[in-house]
Amino acid sequence: MHAAPATTPAMRSSVPDRAIVADDDVDASSDARARSSRLIAPELEPPSSDASDASSEFRARAMSTTRQPMIWKHDERVVVYPPYIDSTRTTARGRRIALDDCVEHPHPLEMLDACERGLGMKCELEDKCYSRDFWCRGRLRVEWKTEDGEFVNPELNTRGKLLKAIAAYVKKHPERGENGKPSTNPKYMTQHMVFDEYVKQVASAAGPAPGQGKKADKVGNRKKSGKKGRK
């Protein structure tokens, strides 16, 4: 085996001191990281007392709003459409009370007067069409209860009783004729009444229908001519 060559002092001086060089590199890199950290994230000043008070107040408000329950108030007014008390309708077409308690062709304005002047209840007239009949336009929202939940009129504690009372006052409306017949005033004529009146006017202007009238009677009573008609 060959022996390892011995190192001379000149050779030792030419070999770099690795431990010393490594320590210098570590110190330089740590200084560079420190400087970069100061540039990227500079030291922040402590927040002032005003800013901390504002943040605490905002946090308190946020907590109070999230803890407060959401309350939705239901509209407890009664919705009344004219077909509910119309005697010309069936139950399938919207009538909700007995036929004897109904009134013929009630108008929303008549119902409004009946609620406010007759029953003493506040109500609102809305421009809405009835779902079963788009010709029927207009409805009422009647306030039959107070804010405390008590009935304005204790005797009218059901919807049926309220509808009967409205129909009774509509029959007594000043614009109505005898026995509660509908008014001829155009203001209180319903859409169906206007249409019926229009059909009558068209029929009268067109004359009698085919097969009717004086000429038709003469044609019907004419004697047949021919061999069988001879004596």
Residue 95, in any domain of the structure: yes
Residue 25, in any domain of the structure: no
Query: Total domain count for the chain?
Result: 1
Which has more confidence, 107 or 31? 107
Domain span holding position 160: 78-202
Distance CA 81, CA 163 (A): 10
Report the range of poorest mean pLDDT among 64-78, 92-106, 131-145. 64-78
- Confidence at residue 221, expressed as pLDDT on a 0 to 100 scale: 58
Q: What is the mean pLDDT of the chain?
A: 75
Report the range of poorest mean pLDDT among 151-155, 183-187, 213-217. 213-217
Which has more confidence, 175 or 31? 175
Reply yes or no on whether the pLDDT at 107 is more than 80.
Answer: yes
Which has more confidence, 202 or 129? 129
With cut-offs at 50, 70 and 90, classify the pLDDT of residue 21.
very low
Residue 21, in any domain of the structure: no
Reply yes or no on whether the pLDDT at 8 is more than 70.
Answer: no
Residue 128 belongs to domain with CATH number: 3.30.56.30
Sign (positive/negative) of CA torsion 117, 118, 119, 124? negative
pLDDT above 70: percentage of residues in the chain: 58
Reply yes or no on whether the pLDDT at 52 is more than 50.
Answer: yes
Residue 186, in any domain of the structure: yes
Contact 144, 121 (CB under 8 A): yes
Residue 73, in any domain of the structure: no
Q: What is the mean pLDDT of residues 190-217?
A: 71
Report the range of poorest mean pLDDT among 38-47, 67-76, 154-163, 185-194. 38-47
Residue 107, in any domain of the structure: yes
Ordered strands of the 78-80 beta sheet:
78-80, 133-142, 123-130
What's the whole-model pTM score? 0.56
**Tokens standing for residue 63:** 């907590």
Residue 23, in any domain of the structure: no
Residue 10, in any domain of the structure: no
